[in-house]
């Protein structure tokens, strides 16, 4: 979500963010002085690099001009754990921003982040300015405790020189055929250039970003584990394993061990070692900064062959903002949240400086956006009706983590003998975890 290294999907352990039911912090909607009274609010966000922090301060400048009575104290580099501990301890800031949309279910259900519905209604904020997927990841079971601030949108990057005139694939069968055609090997099978690396251990090729292109539903309508009853899960796994086996699992592991760091110049796509890769919109900024000579294009990620009508969509997540329980200036805090998440100039400024997608439909069309031509793909994916996100739960992304662990540790190495039984076991473990957390 930002230019500093981002945590991998498996790193967002749900257990680290579970809030105790008995949070001691008090305060709720309408508490504290009125928004037009002189006061100071404290804002915590997770951006850490100097350029990122400056971009946030530039956006805040617009709020300060519009609300001269409110002094804003900004604190950078704040993690979700620090936010959680401050709420538990009854001494939270007035506004919090997090990169972890997977935790919205926990925050909403526990009340750790206040219900914003009364503020939204009173302010007349039109939620239709946000795409449906964005509306989905900022609420849980009808309780909207977060507002979106910028977005991550995932699409396909392709190296034009390595593509040799080929057009970007639109279906998974096209992707597979082109991956094989573009792959270059040594005589012993070692992968010199991967047409496309299917392993979930390849950076952003985690199930959360690619499996939605097969239409998987993640959970049942009742909020239970839904992997065993979803034929699209089996379709995703079959595609993954067939391409893994074509490369050879040992060759895949060898290639993975040779990769550079995702957020350094040694990233294999930037070094011409990968022809096509699924990645977030921020990669355009890294390429501009670290590999300006790479001639590349972008396109929506391919979809399963039976989902051609959904081509153009992709996975969406993003930064969220909220007012924590215990805020001593809740009304002024809401005015700050409302401004940063709906003001077009503020969002466009952040998008230009951070290289993320502005999170309202009006901001997408702003003539003031100054982003690389390849960025336009992600603006289109963001507002595409087929774009999706992972559903929130009371224990965060635990079900996503468990599925990725299954794919990484059992499926890709070929250790699964009975897929149906394995997926039923996975669903049972997911359900037990959800029950322990009030799901």
Q: Is pLDDT above 70 for 348?
A: yes
| Predicted structure pTM score | 0.92
**What local confidence, expressed as pLDDT, does residue 436 receive?**
87
**Mean pLDDT within 387-395:** 94
Element (H, E) at 75: strand 70-75
Q: In this model, does residue 18 exceed pLDDT 60?
A: no
**pLDDT category, 28, cuts 50, 70, 90?**
low
Helical residues (DSSP H) of 355-411, grouped into ranges: 361-364, 376-383, 398-406
Give the residues across from 157 on adjacent strands. Answer: 277, 298
Beta strands 147-159; 184-185: pairing state: unpaired
| pLDDT greater than 60 at residue 162 | yes
154-310: CATH topology is: D-Maltodextrin-Binding Protein; domain 2 (3.40.190)
CA neighbours closer than 13 Å in the CB half-sphere of residue 403: 27
Specify the pLDDT at position 439.
64
Taking 80 as the threshold, does the pLDDT of residue 3 lie above it? no
Arithmetic mean of pLDDT over the chain: 92
List the structure tokens of 387: 């774009």
Q: What is the mean pLDDT of residues 35-51?
A: 96
Facing residues of 152 across strands? Answer: 317
pLDDT (tens digit per residue) in 60-82: 999 999 999 999 999 999 999 99
What is the percent of the chain with per-residue pLDDT over 90, rounded to a whole number?
90
Q: How, if at all, do strands 147-159 and 70-75 pair? A: unpaired
Range list for CATH 3.40.190.10 in the chain = 9-152+315-383, 154-310
Report in angstroms the alpha-carbon separations of 176 from 182, 237, 306, 413: 10, 13, 15, 19
pLDDT band at 15 (very low <50, low <70, confident <90, very high): very low
pLDDT digits (tens, 9 = 90+) for 303-322: 999 999 999 999 999 999 99
- Cα–Cα distances in Å, from 320 out to 19, 88, 137, 147, 428? 18, 20, 9, 6, 30
Cα 143 to Cα 22, 111, 115, distances in angstroms = 19, 9, 6
pLDDT in tens, 234-274: 999 999 999 999 999 999 999 999 998 899 999 999 999 99
Note the CATH number of domain 9-152+315-383.
3.40.190.10
Average pLDDT (393-401) is 93
Per-residue CA distances from 255 to 18, 179, 215, 218 (Å): 36, 15, 29, 29
Return phi, psi of residue 27, to 5°.
100, 140
> pLDDT of 190-237, one tens digit each?
999 999 999 999 999 999 999 999 999 999 999 999 999 999 999 999
Least confident residue range of 24-28, 88-92, 170-174, 350-354: 24-28
């Amino acid at each position: 979500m930002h230019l500093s290294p981002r945590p991998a999907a498996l790193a967002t352990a749900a257990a680290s963010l579970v809030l105790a039911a008995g949070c001691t912090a008090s305060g709720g909607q309408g508490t504290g002085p009125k928004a037009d009274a002189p006061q100071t609010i404290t804002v915590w966000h997770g951006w850490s690099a100097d350029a990122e922090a400056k971009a946030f301060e530039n956006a805040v400048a617009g709020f300060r001009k519009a609300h001269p009575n409110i002094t804003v104290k900004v604190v950078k580099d704040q993690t979700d754990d620090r936010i959680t501990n401050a709420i538990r301890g009854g001494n939270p800031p007035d506004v919090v921003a997090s990169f972890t949309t997977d935790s919205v279910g926990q925050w909403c259900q526990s009340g750790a982040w206040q219900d914003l519905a009364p503020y939204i209604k009173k302010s007349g904020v039109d939620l239709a300015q946000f795409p449906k997927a964005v509306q989905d990841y900022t609420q849980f079971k009808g309780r909207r405790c977060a507002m979106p601030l910028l977005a991550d949108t995932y699409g396909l990057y392709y190296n034009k020189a390595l593509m040799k005139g080929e057009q970007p694939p639109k279906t998974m069968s096209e992707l597979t055929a082109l991956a094989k055609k573009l792959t270059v090997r040594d005589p012993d099978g070692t992968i010199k250039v991967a047409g496309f690396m299917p392993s979930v251990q390849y950076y952003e090729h985690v199930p959360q970003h690619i499996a939605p292109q097969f239409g998987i539903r993640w959970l049942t309508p009742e909020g239970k584990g839904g992997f065993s009853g979803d034929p699209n899960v089996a379709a995703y796994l079959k595609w993954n394993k067939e391409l893994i086996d074509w490369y050879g699992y040992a060759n895949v592991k060898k290639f993975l061990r040779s990769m550079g760091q995702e957020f350094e110049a040694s990233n294999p796509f930037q070094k011409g070692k990968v022809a096509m890769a699924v990645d977030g919109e921020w990669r355009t900024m890294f390429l501009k900064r670290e590999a300006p000579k790479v001639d590349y294009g972008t396109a929506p990620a391919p979809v399963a062959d039976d989902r051609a009508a959904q081509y153009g969509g992709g996975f969406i997540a993003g930064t969220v903002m909220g007012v924590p329980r215990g805020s001593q200036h809740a009304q002024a805090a809401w005015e700050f949240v409302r401004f940063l998440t709906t003001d077009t100039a503020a969002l466009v400024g952040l998008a230009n400086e951070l290289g993320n997608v502005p999170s309202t439909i009006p901001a997408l069309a702003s003539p003031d956006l100054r982003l690389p031509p390849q960025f336009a793909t992600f603006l289109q994916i963001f507002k595409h009706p087929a774009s999706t996100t992972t559903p929130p739960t009371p224990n965060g992304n635990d079900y996503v983590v468990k599925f990725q662990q299954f794919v990484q540790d059992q499926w890709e190495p070929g250790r699964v003998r009975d897929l149906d039984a394995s997926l039923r076991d996975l669903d049972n473990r997911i359900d037990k975890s959800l029950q322990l957390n009030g799901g």
